[in-house]
Chains A and B, each alone.
Chain A
Amino acid sequence: MKKISVAGIKENMLIAPDIYRMELELSEDINALPGQFVNVYLDDGAHLLPRPISICRAEDNRLTLVYRAVGVGTKIMAGLTEGDTLRVSDPLGNGFTLPESGTVLLVGGGVGVPPMLGTAIAAKAKGLNVIAAHGYRSELFLKEEFERVGQLLIATDDGSAGYHGTVVELLRSSDIPADTTVLSCGPKPMLKALVQYCEEKGLPVQVSLEERMGCGFGACVGCVCKLNQNGNIVQKRVCKDGPVFNGSEVIF
């Protein structure tokens, strides 16, 4: 059975403006696929809905989440410290499908960067060639972690580091091998531009989507997105059928 567990907070650190890295310890080992997420429950009696947060890393019974404090829930999370507890669900959703061989290009934008780290580590363990290309507003995070796994390309909105512009513009001026599979998580405009780029280059692309969720486990049909599957328009649940979809099918 799937379950919600009480996790102990081992560390909750500010790693860039408004960006926190939270290390959680669970009582059992976590079996997560790259690109899956967990529901975080605030348990304050007022803010009831689960906050979906991507799994940045899962190793044994340790879970790493990297999140931006944007609203009431993530600000409550930011206020927690070592020794506090937090209820989290088992890993949810489908996750990325890694190719059998060749190169994976991992494209992250903002808080879409964190899930690409676990994905990069899994891809490297599978013997794939790993390139990461990340777009940040300004300040970088998880840079060293990615550099340990593969090649890292960086774009910033304000030009404070790496390429000055969007990550898709950066890709257009880079050499991407022909055997590349693109896996991505980030804001919709970035994903849309990326899918267009991949279609031009003939590269397969998987994208991880966001939507407002009621349950986060497939029961309420609150979180649907629209796909075009061979001319048929179908609605899929981001939390259960996704969050990862074939980029060329997504109707943005």
Chain B
Amino acid sequence: MNTVTAPAITTTYREALRMALREALQRDPRVFLMGEDVGRYGGTYAVSKGLLEEFGEERIRDTPLSESAFVGAGIGAALNGMLPIVEVMTCNFSLLALDQILNNAATLRHMSGGQFNIPLVIRMATGAGRQLAAQHSHSFEGWYAHIPGIRVVTPATLEDARGMLWTALMDPDPVIMFENALLYNLEGELAADAGAVDIDHAVVRRAGSDLTLVTYGGSLPKTLQAAERLAAQNINAEVIDLRTLRPLDMTTVLDSLAKTHRMVIIDEGWKSGSLAAEIMARVMEQAFYELDAPIERVCSAEVPIPYARHLEQAAIPQVETILAAALRMVK
């Protein structure tokens, strides 16, 4: 736990993101925000609300529905001295810009033999849980984490919502920031002087010794709840928030495993070929003999996210399913 030095303010994940945007815009004239409905509309999730009035149309730039072009334009602007923050409304629509992200943003540095770099941040909402069905509910964090040349961050706390953006902007390479849409209303305390945070390390959000629960993004609150319920049964779970999915901080994960020897990975991506699968594979490679039991994964079911609430809830990780997996493991 952080020791809070400055007085704390009560705020939300959404407001913390807005503070980070405001700070970045104030701090560096090269920073600008662009995306669909970031300005007049006030941001689809109201993250950028009020920024147009504060910074004007040049720097809070509404774009037409042209994901490929405006993401590509962000890459071009980054290539030429700016520090763009591109907002793609949800990761589902980022598929229209995937070509630009993968074939340009992720490769230009390498293809040019290191002559160019792309200091770009792409923000996108992700995740299910709002009955938006199969074209608005998917989690592509793991997909993007497959790509060398980009960094993937998943703020899941107010501190990270407040602090990851600036660090990501200062990174000379493209960073994709996933904001789970269910976190926007997350409320809590934040140090009044909270600022940039490191984006290189995973963090232990709850210390424990009986088993390790590894997660990120929207599954963090559920995992912490499951850990609380385990504690009521005298089972002490350690909860790791990966924070950055690429590059992965395996040291923190393996340190925990060396203590607990048991691991459940919670990942809202589809199970097959998931980020959870990657972590499992690395544990096999690097710490096989630390394991006292096979690793379990709580992931999304192999189905496009359905509309009906009971089916959607059954398709994604839940406190109950995390709890069940953890109990199976310690039994």
To the question of whether A and B form a pair in one complex, the answer is no
